[in-house]
Amino acid sequence: MPRKPKKGYFVKGQFVAEGSDLDLELKRELKGGAETSRTDLKRESAELQALGEQLLDLRAGLFTPLPLPDKLVDAVTEAKRITNFEGKRRQMQFIGKLMRQLDEDTLQAVRDALQVQHQGSAEEASALHEAEQWRERLIGSDDALGQWLTLHPDTDSQQLRALVRQARKDAKPEKPGQALRHGRAYRDIFQLVKEQLLHG
């Protein structure tokens, strides 16, 4: 029976077996210190596991182009399906282990993708806030409609005018002293304005 080849790599033509003294020495050199403390290794391991956990929330458009090994892609897909707490915890540890095998370029690509998603979320949060302000202004004043259409000329002005009219009508209480009601037009104005702010 042929012997199973040892795992390892070559450095300047010399084979270095994984886990050998030379392997550990080279890894210590890479870290820049003569001795990598257990605390450093533990911290690095925790950081990579946390990074792996964030992959679960990364949207497909950013996740798919990442140069990740199939094993890690499958592990992330599987983790999304697991609902059992203990099963999920074990799967996340496995993802952490796979993350530790990635090279620095791949890890950087993961960090960059997460950064892009985070910035997108911040932009969206800002657009939601702005959309709420515009909705109140549009319902509250005719001047705001003119201002909005100047800033966003490709808005469907007829649709927006109709929604504003309907929202004003809906907002009038049926009886004095009743609370303001917000109908569908109120929500539709928000959607229309938000879409324009994000993609217009």
pLDDT tens-digit series, residues 40-86: 778 888 889 899 999 999 988 889 889 999 999 999 999 999 999 99
C-alpha 16/C-alpha 13 separation (Å) is 9
28 vs 79, more confident: 79
Q: Are residues 86 and 129 in the same domain?
A: no
**Is residue 3 one of the residues assigned to a domain?**
no
Residue 133 sits in a domain whose CATH number is 1.10.60.30
pLDDT attached to residue 34: 45
Q: What is the pTM of this model?
A: 0.50
Asked if 53 and 36 sit in the same domain, the reply is yes
**Which of 94, 116, 138 is the last residue in one of the domains?**
116
Total count of domains within the chain: 2
Does residue 158 sit in the same domain as residue 91?
no
The pLDDT value recorded for residue 4 is: 54
Assess if residue 72 is contained within a domain. yes
Task: Give, rounded to a whole angstrom, the gap between the first and last alpha carbons of the chain.
Answer: 67
Across residues 135-157, what is the average pLDDT?
Answer: 92
Q: Which pLDDT does position 33 carry in this prediction?
A: 53
- Domain identity same for 109 and 137: no
Do 156 and 111 lie in one domain? The reply is: no
Question: Residues 128, 176: one domain?
Answer: yes
Return the DSSP state at 172: S
Residue 149 pLDDT: 93
Q: Which residues of 146-165 are buried (b: 16+ CB within 10 A; e: fewer)?
A: eebeeebeebeeeebeebbe
Say whether pLDDT at 200 is over 80: no
Q: Structural domain of residue 172, as residue ranges?
A: 124-199
What pLDDT sits at residue 46?
Answer: 85
Residue 2: inside a domain, yes or no? no
Could you tell me if residue 27 is inside a domain?
yes
Last residue in a domain, options 71, 96, 116: 116
103-140: per-residue pLDDT in tens?
Answer: 998 999 999 999 988 888 888 888 888 999 999 999 99
**164 domain residue, yes or no:** yes
160 within 8 A of 138, measured Cβ to Cβ: yes
Lowest-pLDDT range of 30-34, 58-62, 90-94, 130-134: 30-34
- Domain boundary residue, one of 116, 150, 172: 116
The answer to whether residue 148 scores a pLDDT higher than 70 is: yes
Q: Tokens 């950087």: give the residue.
A: 108
Does residue 153 share a domain with residue 109? no
16 plus 102 within the same structural domain: yes
- Longest distance between any two alpha carbons in the chain, whole Å: 92
